[in-house]
């Protein structure tokens, strides 16, 4: 690697010196005087030491600052009001839409679901009663055994098919 070669150290130091020296010269001759001037102007304005010419422009500046501040406050209040109105309208729309959905779509679906569950429950209760009366007691014991759950399902399905065909 060339940067670790001892024979090139001198040229690296020379270029490093040239780079830092040029940066130092640019910094001290151009950038720092501008910064110092800006800080001086700020300090004199903050201390209130201004020329007579600037006092009239300062009062105009203050007036324009007050007017612009007033306009900004009015604009902020208008935007706040518009945002609150929009949020309220959105909440009202959401409430109305939810109520409409519940009335038009969910209520009939709920009625259909309730009817279906009642029908299914009645059919299963009827089937269970029929199984109790038609199957011998030994079949009840065998079907109730935990190892025979698949047999029980097959038996119930076959019985339901035969009951509902008639």
Q: What is the mean pLDDT of each run of 10 residues along the chain (166 residues)?
A: 77 93 95 94 76 64 87 90 91 90 83 80 74 66 55 69 64
Q: Is residue 15 part of a domain?
A: yes
Question: Rounded to an integer, what distance in angstroms lies between the CA atom of residue 128 and that of residue 140?
Answer: 11
| Tally of structural domains, the chain | 1
Q: What domain range includes position 17?
A: 1-47
Q: Is residue 16 part of a domain?
A: yes
Amino acid 124: pLDDT: 72
Is 157:124 a contact under the CB 8 Å cutoff?
A: no
Q: Is residue 25 part of a domain?
A: yes
Q: What predicted TM-score, i.e. pTM, was given to this entire model?
A: 0.34
- Report the residue count for the chain: 166
**Coil, strand, or helix at residue 1?**
coil
Q: Which residues contact 135 (CB under 8 A, 6 or more apart)?
A: 143
Q: Is residue 65 part of a domain?
A: no
Is 161:132 a contact under the CB 8 Å cutoff?
A: no
Question: Rounded to an integer, what distance in angstroms lies between the CA atom of residue 25 and that of residue 31?
Answer: 10
Dig out the tokens for 35 from the structure: 């910064």
Q: Is residue 95 part of a domain?
A: no
Amino acid 164: pLDDT: 67
Amino acid 91: pLDDT: 92
Question: Rounded to an integer, what distance in angstroms lies between the CA atom of residue 149 and that of residue 154?
Answer: 9
Q: Is residue 70 part of a domain?
A: no
Q: Is residue 18 part of a domain?
A: yes
């Amino acid at each position: 690697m060339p940067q670790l070669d001892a024979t090139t150290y001198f040229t690296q130091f020379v270029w490093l010196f040239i780079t830092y020296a040029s940066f130092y010269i640019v910094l001290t001759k151009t950038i720092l005087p501008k910064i110092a001037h800006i800080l001086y102007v700020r300090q004199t304005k903050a201390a209130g030491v201004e020329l007579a010419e600037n006092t009239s422009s300062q009062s105009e500046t203050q007036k324009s600052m007050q007017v612009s501040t007033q306009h900004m406050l009015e604009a902020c209040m208008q935007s706040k009001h518009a945002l609150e109105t929009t949020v309220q309208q959105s909440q009202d729309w959401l409430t109305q839409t939810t109520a409409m959905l519940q009335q038009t779509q969910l209520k009939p679906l709920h009625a259909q679901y309730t009817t279906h569950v009642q029908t299914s429950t009645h059919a299963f209760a009827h089937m269970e009663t029929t199984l109790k009366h038609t199957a011998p007691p030994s079949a009840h014991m065998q079907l109730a055994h935990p190892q025979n759950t698949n047999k029980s399902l097959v038996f119930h399905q076959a019985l339901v098919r035969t009951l509902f065909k008639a």
